[in-house]
A and B are shown apart, each in its own frame.
Chain A
Amino acid sequence: MVEKTIEKRSVKTTTKNTPKFIWRRKHLLGLQDLSREELIHILDTAKGFKGISKRSVKKAPTLRGKVVVNLFFEDSTRTRNSFTLAASRLSADVLEFTAKTSSVSKGETLRDTARNLEAMGIDIVVIRHSAGGAPHLLTRCIDACIINAGDGYHEHPTQGLLDIFSIRELRPDLSGLKVAIVGDIAHSRVARSNIWGLHKLGAEVYLVAPPTLMPSGIEKMPVTPCYNFDEIIGQMDVLNMLRVQFERIGSSVFPSVLEYSRLFGLTVERMKRAKKDVIVMHPGPLNRGLEIESEVADGPNSTILQQVSNGVAVRMAVLFLVNQAVVLEKKK
C-alpha cells in the first residue's frame, strides 16, 4: 500500500511539470540526441526521485520484476554503484557483469556477450565500455533498453545530466550561465555530454585546456575554447574540473604534471580570482593536487558530493523513463 503511494507521487511530479510530454526513448545513448524538452523531462523526473533517497524506506516498486544488467568493460566504482543503487531503489534485480574488452583473437565479442545475457532474460543494460559507440552496437544486436554509462570518449550522458541537475539546484535558470569545463577535453566523454546538455539549456560553455588536449573540429561545436584559465575564471558561474586521464593519454601531451597544475589546476590562489559564489564541480575520482587542490575540492564552493548523491536520482529517472518507453511501446 505504502509503495503504491510512492509510485503515484513520483509519476505525479513528472506530469505536473510537463503536462503533455511523453517520453518515448527506450535507449539513452548520449545527450547530443536529446531535445531540450527531453532533457528537462529527465531532470524534472529526477527531482521527484530525489525525495525517495531521503525517506526511511528508500524504495519504489517501479521496476519490480525487471532485470538491470551492469555490463562494465572498464573499471568504475562511482558510476557502477550509483546505477546499482538506483536500480535497487526502483526494486529491479541487478546483475553485475564485469568483462574484458572483446577482440578478434581472444575472448567473447561484445555482440556474443550481449546475446547471451539477453537469452537469460534481461530488460535494461547499463554499459560502460572503452570504445565509443559500443552502446550503439548493443542496440543493433539485442532488444533490451540500453543506457550508456560512458563509452570511450564519446559520451557519459548520466554524468552530464547529474552535473546539470546539480547546477540547476543552485541556479534554476541556465540561460546565459557561464560554465567552464577545464582539462582534458579531447579524451573526455564527460565534457562532450556536458557540452550538448548545457548548450541545449542555454548555458554558455567555455572549454579550457592546453591546445594538445583540445579535440580537433572544436570550432564547429557550440563552445568557446580558451587556453588561459586566469583570463576567464572571473566571469565564470561554474567551474567543472575534469580528471586528467593518464590512462587515456598515449603520448606526452603536456610536459609535466607540475606545469599542468600551474596552468590549469584549480588552486586556492586561482580561486581568489573567481566569483564568490562560483560552483566548483568534479566528476571524480579526484587527482588531488593535480587538477584541483584539496582545499578547493573540500571547500564551500564545492558541489562534488552533491553531484554524487544527485547521480542516484538522475539514474533512477533514466531507468524509470526507458522502462516507461517500453511499456508505452507495448501498449501500442
Chain B
Amino acid sequence: MSELLIKNGRVIDPANKMDMIADILVRDGKIAELGRINKNGCEVINAENRLVTPGLVDMHVHLREPGEEEEETIASGSTAAVAGGFTSIACMPNTNPTIDNEATVDYVYRQASNAGKANVFAVGAITKGRAGKELAEMGQMVRGGAVAFTDDGSGVQNPAVMLRALQYVRMFDKVLMQHCQDNALAGSGCMNSGYQATILGLPGMPALAEELMLYRDIQLAKKASVPYHAQHISTQGSADLIRQARKQGLKVTAEVTPHHLLFTDEACISYDPNYKMNPPLRTQEDIIALQAAVADGTIDCLASDHAPHLRSEKELEFLQAPFGIISLDCALGLYVKALIETDIIDWPRLIEMMTCNPARILRINKGTLSIGCDADITIIDPDHHWQVDIDQFKSRSRNCPYHGWELSARPVCTIVGGRILHRQSS
C-alpha cells in the first residue's frame, strides 16, 4: 500500500464545484481522502500557495507515431505532456499509416503503456485513410479503445459521407469531431485570407472555409441527433455558429487553441513558418470573439493542437512548410496569459476547460478529484515566472513560436495514477 499526501494546496475541482484549501490523500493510485488530513509515515508534498487540480487533459495532440517518429513518438509526446502538467492526452489519427483500424489503435495503447507517462487516448479516423470516402471500422476501433473520431488535418468534404458517419456512430456513444475546412474554398491557402495575405503575396484561406463546413455539420448533427465537436475553431463566425447551435439545445461543443487566442495573421509578416498553422492565425476581431466565447461558455475546452514538425521542414519557404506548431510543454502558461492575465476568466473556469470538460466530451473517466478516481493530479504554481526555452522541451520537435516568452504560471508537479512523473523546482 503506497500513500502520498498533498497538503495545504488550493484544491480546484470544477467537476465537484470545489475551490478550497485542502489536503488530498492518494492511496494505491486512487484519490482516497480529501479534506484536513494528518498522517505520518507517507510521502508528503507541501502545496502551500499552489493550485491542486485534476490532471490536465489535452484532447487534441499529434504524436506522429506510427510513421513520423523523427518528429515525435508516443513516448516523447507523452513525456512533454507530463512536463506541461497534462496527465491525459488524446492523439489524432493523421499518422502513417492512419489510425483507422483496431490494430493501429492497439499499437497506440501499447506504445503509451510502454512509455508509462501521460495517459494516451487514441482518436480514430472517420474514414479509411482519412480520404473522406468510405467509413473506417469505427466499431472495431471502439473495441480497441478509440475514444472519438475525426479526420483531423482535413475535414470530411462530402456531406453525405459525413451524415452517414454521424448516423453510424450513434450506436457507440462516441463523439465525431471535425477539422472544419471546405477545401474548395480554402484552396491552396497557407494563411488567413485578407489584407495581410494580400501584402505578403501568399494565398489565403477565408474564414468562410471553416464556417461553411461548421454550419453544414451542425445541420447534419441535428439531423442525425448526435453530439458533435468542432476542433480548434478560429473565427468569429464559428463562435457565433456554436453559440446559436447551443441555444437550439444541440449537443455541439468546441475547443480553441492557445495560438488562436494569442496571435493574429500579422505574425506571418516575418514569413516565419512557425506562424503557419491550420486553421490559420486570424484577426484581432476573431481573437476578441473567441475570448468572448470562452467567457460565456460557448467554447468548452482548451486544446493545444500540438503538431510536431522537423526543423528542416519548418525551414522551408512559408508556402511549402507544413502547418502546425508545438506547445504541450508550455500550454498552461499560454492559456493563463491569454485568458487569466487578461481577466477573461478565473482559475476555476480555466481548470474546468482543461479537465472535466474535455473528459466529458471524450467520455473518459478523468478530469476530477472525486474519491475513488484515478489519482491524476496537477500541482500548479500560479506565480512562477519563467521563460520558454524550446531546448528544454521534452518534445522531439522545436517548431514553437513561443521561444523566449515570459510566462507566469507553471505546473510544478504532475502525478499520473498516483505516481509523480514530473517535478519542477521553483
Contacts and interface: CB of A to CB of B under 8 A. Distances in A.
Interface residues of A, number: 31
B315 A153 contact: no
Contacts of A220: 195
B284 to A, nearest CB: 13
Contacts of A137: 271, 315-318
Contacts of B204: 216
B201 interface: yes
A327 interface: no
Given A102-B320, A133-B318, A216-B194, A153 B199 contact: no
B316 A110 contact: yes
Interface string B204-216: 1010000000000
Interface in A197-254: 215-218, 220-221, 250
Nearest to B322: A104
A110 B317 CA distance: 8
B316 A192 contact: no
Which of A102, A110, A129, A216 has most chain B Cβ within 10 Å? A216
Contacts of B297: none
B313 A104 contact: yes
Which of A109, A111, A132, A221 has most chain B Cβ within 10 Å? A132
Nearest to B271: A133
Given A102-B317, A131-B320, A216 B312 contact: no
A32 interface: yes
Nearest to A104: B313
Q: Is the interface of A mostly helix, strand, loop or mixed?
A: loop
Given A137-B271, A153-B201, A217-B195, A132 B319 contact: yes
B315 A133 contact: no
Interface string B254-283: 000000000000000011000000000000
B67 interface: no
B202 interface: yes
B238 interface: no
B193 A250 contact: no
A103 B312 CA distance: 10
A152 B270 contact: no
Given A137-B316, A151-B201, 20 more contacts: A32-B199, A102-B316, A102-B320, A103-B316, A104-B312, A104-B322, A109-B315, A110-B316, A111-B315, A130-B319, A132-B318, A133-B271, A152-B201, A152-B202, A153-B201, A216-B197, A216-B198, A216-B204, A250-B187, A250-B188
Interface of B: 187-188, 193-202, 204, 206, 270-271, 312-313, 315-320, 322
Interface of A: 32, 101-104, 109-111, 129-134, 136-137, 141, 151-155, 189, 192, 215-218, 220-221, 250
